[in-house]
Amino acid sequence: MSKVYSVAVLVGSLRKASINRKVALALADLAPATLSLKIIEIGDLPLYNEDIDVNPPASYTAFRQALGGCDAVLFVTPEYNRSVPAPLKNAIDVGSRPYGQSSWGNKPGAVISVSPGAVGGFGANHHLRQSMVFLNVPMMQQPEAYVGNAGALFDDAGHLSEKSKPFLQSFIDAFATWVEQHKK
């Protein structure tokens, strides 16, 4: 029997109806049986502040425990000003502290950036990768996933279009292989 790896999914957009959240849910549906994807919410995390981390708020502790209990991490994010949205950067910081107690280390990761624009969130994708190098998260290199024209991913009823499925399927399948290679 194959091991099932738990994957923390962090969605950079806080909107409940965001295209990024829809993509995260679609990836969860397409994931092979060896991956169990779960969105970990980041919207209730106060801005990281070492002063309040002396007695961390419950949201910091819950986030760190949820992240720490996962085998891998998947980022699904839009691009804001050629970078990741502030809530996602904040979650990265919260998960990396207190110093020496990072919840990120050695978790294989991947990023898919999703944007209505033509560039597909290229800047956010690469900016996120820079942070993950420092946090010792081996990021999947291929297939790269910059999804532009994101409004066309779903039909009017909110279902993933048949045209979009093959790429998302190849991405999540490659991620499953990446996770298995790095967790052996």
Is the whole-model pTM more than 0.85?
yes
pLDDT digits (tens, 9 = 90+) for 166-183: 999 999 999 999 999 998
Question: Domain holding 61: CATH number?
Answer: 3.40.50.360
Q: State pLDDT tens for residues 146-165.
A: 998 988 899 888 889 899 99
Q: What's the structural domain count of the chain?
A: 1
For 23, the domain range is 5-183
Residues 129-137: contacts with CB under 8 Å, at least 24 apart: 131/89, 131/92, 132/104, 135/92, 135/96, 135/102, 135/104, 135/105, 136/102, 136/104, 136/105, 136/106, 137/73, 137/104, 137/105, 137/106, 137/107, 137/108, 137/109
